[in-house]
A and B are shown apart, each in its own frame.
Chain A
Amino acid sequence: MRRLAACATAATLTALSASAQTQTQAQTTAPPQQTAPPPASATAVQRPQLQNLQRVAPPRVAPVRGIDWKAVQAFQRTNDARQSPASRILNALKPEAVDATSIPILLPEIAALRDNVRIYSFGEYYSISFELPQARVSLTGNGRPIAFAAKSRLTAAPEGDTGLTLQRTVDGRVASWTRFGVLYTAEVTCDFPAAPACRDDGFLRDLVQRHQGVVLGRAARKAAGFE
Chain B
Amino acid sequence: MRMRAPFLFALALLAACGPTTPAPPPVPPTPAPAPAPAAPAVDPVNDGGAEQLPEEALPPATPAPATPPAAPTAASFDHLGPSDLIPGSGPGYTDRTVWSPTMCFPLEDAAFANSQVWNKGGSKGPAGTWQCDQPNYSLPWRDNFCESRSNSNALCPGGSGHQGQDIRAKTCKKNTYWTVAAEAGTITNIGSYSVTLTGAAPPHLQYRYLHLQMDDLAVTEGSVVQAGARIGKVSNTFGSTPTTIHLHFEIRAGVAGVTSTGQPINSLAFLPPYLSLVKAYDRKLAGTPCS
Q: Do A and B bind each other?
A: yes
Enumerate B147-195 residues with CB–CB distance to A below 8 Å: 150-159, 163, 170-171, 186, 188-194
Interface check A110, CB cutoff 8 A: no
Interface check B44, CB cutoff 8 A: no
| CB atoms of B285 and A43 under 8 A apart | yes
Residue in A18, A35, A120, A152 whose beta carbon sits within 8 Å of that of B24 in the complex: A18
| CB atoms of B266 and A145 under 8 A apart | yes
| CB atoms of A154 and B36 under 8 A apart | no
**If A29-B30, A158-B259 touch, does A53 touch B283 (CB 8 Å cutoff)?**
yes
| CB atoms of A122 and B204 under 8 A apart | yes
| CB atoms of A193 and B53 under 8 A apart | yes
A residues contacting the other copy or chain, number (CB 8 A) = 90
**Shortest beta-carbon distance from A161 to chain B in Å:** 12
Query: Chain B: which residue is nearest A123 at the CB level?
Result: B202
Interface check A174, CB cutoff 8 A: yes
| CB atoms of A142 and B254 under 8 A apart | yes
Interface check A147, CB cutoff 8 A: yes
Chain B residues near A37 (CB-CB < 8 A): 134, 138
Interface check A209, CB cutoff 8 A: no
Interface check A15, CB cutoff 8 A: yes
Interface check B291, CB cutoff 8 A: no
| CB atoms of A153 and B260 under 8 A apart | yes
**Shortest beta-carbon distance from A170 to chain B in Å:** 5
**Shortest beta-carbon distance from B176 to chain A in Å:** 14
Chain B residues near A189 (CB-CB < 8 A): 189, 191-192, 194
| CB atoms of A44 and B282 under 8 A apart | yes
Query: Chain A interface: which of B81-89, B97-105, B122-130, B228-236?
Result: B97-105
* Interface-centre pick from B16, B248, B255 (highest chain A CB count, 10 A): B255
**Shortest beta-carbon distance from B112 to chain A in Å:** 8
Interface check A132, CB cutoff 8 A: no
Residue in A17, A39, A168, A177 whose beta carbon sits within 8 Å of that of B171 in the complex: A39
B interface residue count range (under 10 / 10 to 19 / 20 to 34 / 35 or more): 35 or more
Interface check B70, CB cutoff 8 A: no
- Tell me if B's interface is mostly helix, strand, loop or mixed: loop
| CB atoms of B18 and A129 under 8 A apart | no
Interface check A82, CB cutoff 8 A: no
**If A32-B34, A146-B253 touch, does A53 touch B279 (CB 8 Å cutoff)?**
yes
Chain A residues near B151 (CB-CB < 8 A): 167-170
Complex interface bits, A136-162 against B, C-beta within 8 A gives 1, otherwise 0: 101010101111111011111110000
Interface check B264, CB cutoff 8 A: yes
Chain A residues near B266 (CB-CB < 8 A): 145, 163, 176-178, 183
Complex Cα gap A156–B156 (Å): 10
Query: Chain A: which residue is nearest B11 at the CB level?
Result: A14
Interface check B75, CB cutoff 8 A: yes
**Shortest beta-carbon distance from A135 to chain B in Å:** 9
| CB atoms of B258 and A150 under 8 A apart | yes
Query: Chain B interface: which of A1-9, A72-80, A85-93, A210-218?
Result: A1-9
Complex Cα gap A16–B99 (Å): 66
Interface check A11, CB cutoff 8 A: yes
Residue in A35, A45, A129, A158 whose beta carbon sits within 8 Å of that of B267 in the complex: A158
Interface check B41, CB cutoff 8 A: no
Residue in A125, A127, A136, A152 whose beta carbon sits within 8 Å of that of B257 in the complex: A152
Complex Cα gap A49–B73 (Å): 13
Residue in B194, B202, B221, B268 whose beta carbon sits within 8 Å of that of A170 in the complex: B194
Interface check B196, CB cutoff 8 A: yes
Chain B residues near A53 (CB-CB < 8 A): 279, 282-283, 286, 288
| CB atoms of B286 and A15 under 8 A apart | no
**If A47-B285, A59-B203 touch, does A152 touch B95 (CB 8 Å cutoff)?**
yes
Interface residues of A (CB under 8 A from B): 3, 6-7, 9-11, 13-18, 20-22, 24-26, 29, 32-37, 39-40, 42-50, 52-53, 56-59, 61-62, 118, 120, 122, 124-125, 127, 129, 136, 138, 140, 142, 144-150, 152-158, 163, 165-172, 174, 176-178, 183, 185, 187, 189-193
7 CB contacts below 8 A, A to B, read A9-B13, A10-B17, A33-B33, A48-B286, A138-B188, A158-B265, A183-B268
Interface residues of B (CB under 8 A from A): 3-4, 6-7, 9-11, 13-14, 16-18, 24-25, 27-28, 30-31, 33-37, 39, 51, 53, 75-78, 95, 97-99, 101-102, 110-112, 134, 137-139, 150-159, 163, 170-171, 186, 188-194, 196, 198, 200, 202-204, 210, 221-222, 239-240, 248, 253-261, 263-269, 279, 282-283, 285-286, 288
